[in-house]
Structure 1
Amino acid sequence: MKRQLILEDGTIFIGKAFGSDATTMGEVVFNTGMTGYQEILSDPSYCGQMVTLTYPLIGNYGINRDDFESICPAIKGLIVKEVTEYPSNWRNEMTLNDYFKMKKIPGISGIDTRKLTRIIRQHGTLKGAICSLEEDPQEVLGKLRSTVLPIDQVSQVSTKNPYPSPGRGKRVVLVDFGMKHGILRELIGRGCDIIVVPYNATADEILQLSPDGIMLSNGPGDPKDVPEAIEMIKGIVGKIPFFGICLGHQLFALASGADTVKMKFGHRGSNHPVKDLSTGKIAITSQNHGYTVEENSIVGTRLVVTHIALNDGTIEGLKHLEYPAFTVQYHPEASPGPEDANSLFDQFMQMIESEKQEVSASCQNVQI
């Protein structure tokens, strides 16, 4: 069955349908990763977006139970060059087509994804619609141009209630803005006693949990659409060590007096080189974001840039000059992608331990 992809600039692609028959609209973005499509389609940071995969063959190793980054995928649709009907992998449990039908997500294949990517790179991210050939393109285009995309993505993908993931190590409160399971796995692997809280948890509610550290997760959309999180961070910085990833990094910057701006087409892929300014070392990183911290806005804050993207020079890491707090724009948990930056979780653990030792030494001095 044929299907069409219509962009707000009037471009129309005709391809083959897979997955759900539903009509969908969203922001069209592209990801350059060569593998990891299951983690990509289940990453909550893609909430409200239709993802174009630039690698031409997708679905060749099927869908398995282990590689999900969330239980319910939040993407609006998937756009590929070719989708495999008969996957071949020992972990395969179902085809991509069957999974998308089950989750009611539409997809389109057989289009020129290279041309589509070049359009996005030239004009920036665009609104798009996936629909049947029976629908009038001009009517769809009119609806598309008049549609205002939602700005409540974080509330859609965040947990509604706090929940624990018990451990015997350091207590970490993980603020869920659209958390990938990879972040939780890394903390569990380090024995942490984790409490996951919603995006709108207040500073007081978090501090009442007596955390040793705070982690701010990744998530979708514009960080300025989550003002309650910015206020929460202001109430915590300087009191508890914390580590922010992706959207958490941007929210930390806003809470510290810096600014964020929307990028032309963002960073989405698993091969982005990032330089650590303190060591000069380069890490190949996994990224998924459409906003960045504005470089000039750092002036006058108590922040210092720790990492930069080598492709375009944008800010990829920050730390506070006075308090135990640092953030990165990329995904050190990978999922998918390289694990070059996985040691940042160990750095977070060491920061928590150092802070506890300083507090303990300070208390002993007071007693003396």
Structure 2
Amino acid sequence: MKKFFKIIFAIVLIIVSATSCTDDTLQSVAEAPAEGKFLLSNSTSEIVLDQKNADKNIAVTLNWDNKSWYGIDTPMTYTIQMDKSDGDFVSPEEVAIATGNNLSLTHADLNAKAFALKLAPGVASKIKVRLKANLKYGALPIYSNVSTLTITPYSTLILKYPMPSELYLQGDAVPSNWGTPVTDVQKMTQIDDHRFGLIVTLTGGKNFAVISAASTWSDPAYVTMEANANPQSSGTFEPRGSATNWGGTPIKSPAATGVYQVILDFTTGIYTVTPAVLMTSPAELYVIGDATTNGWNAPGTAQKFTKVDNNTFTLTTTLKAGKFAFINANSTWSTPAYLGKTDSEPSLAGNLTLNQAPDFAGTSITAPNPGNYTITVNFKSGTYVLKP
């Protein structure tokens, strides 16, 4: 009997050993594909986004092969990742893919991603795009090649109030003292598509309103609905007239008489009144700096502005990374020069100040993303604007 059990035990041991040691055992192991195999392609690489029919028109289509990249037939999740050109996908903008092997983004979709990445509207900027795939629960992620897109976002600017064609300051804080006609000294300059501005002397503790005609009180006029017991450097304004049953009060000027920059922003309905310096328009104007073709050398005629009117200059030129300023002669520097009012002026639209003895004020302006820009400088409002 004992011999019988020994035989049975030997047979079981042989069967178990043979089963565990066979070379024919099939195993399914997920492995990442070889480098250069998991590829993403795009239908176009240069995209100027357009607000017209933005939610219907396709801006770009991203494509990839939809197959078993891990060597086994298993469910996968795809995600498109986007980042700025100098980013490293630490916090990318993402679009999850439910099914299929492509993704089409409308102009509105891509514009929203551009703004999420803090790209400037109207400026051609590069972004990086890649495709991420992973197994269930985010396991074993793999990434495609990185594709580069150059996109120019559009502005989603919405005006709070319609822009008038002209604006003038009127009141006892300005020389007209409520009289008409209002002189050109009190006529504001249209800075861009949503702002008017003017550098002007204001009498302290008085009042001013903003009207759209030089010869008469306009309908509407632009006044404030806020209490003006104390001088204000900023506040809200509204168009008030026959359609609104008039109302409102003039804006209070600062307590001290002086030169101020007055700006009305029609996207926010906010006015600002800040100290400034009067600037006389020069006979000529040039751009200089390491953001320009000639660096800090004499700019040359290619960097000379065209004088549009008594106060406005314009130039289309190429800018690269770096700083720039404005000078009034074809030389390495001029007195005065015209620099950013603060060290943090926006690169696409900001305020200027004089740089001359004895007060060498202002700082050079940081250029936007490299590209071609039309620069407009206005000395009546003390502003500059850059557009691609």
TM-score by shorter chain over 0.5? no
Looking at secondary structure, tell me which structure has more strand per residue.
2
Q: TM-score range by the shorter chain?
A: under 0.3
Return the TM-score normalized by structure 1.
0.25
Larger Rg: 2
Return the TM-score normalized by structure 2.
0.24
Looking at secondary structure, tell me which structure has more helix per residue.
1
Higher relative contact order (CA 8 A, sep 6+): 1
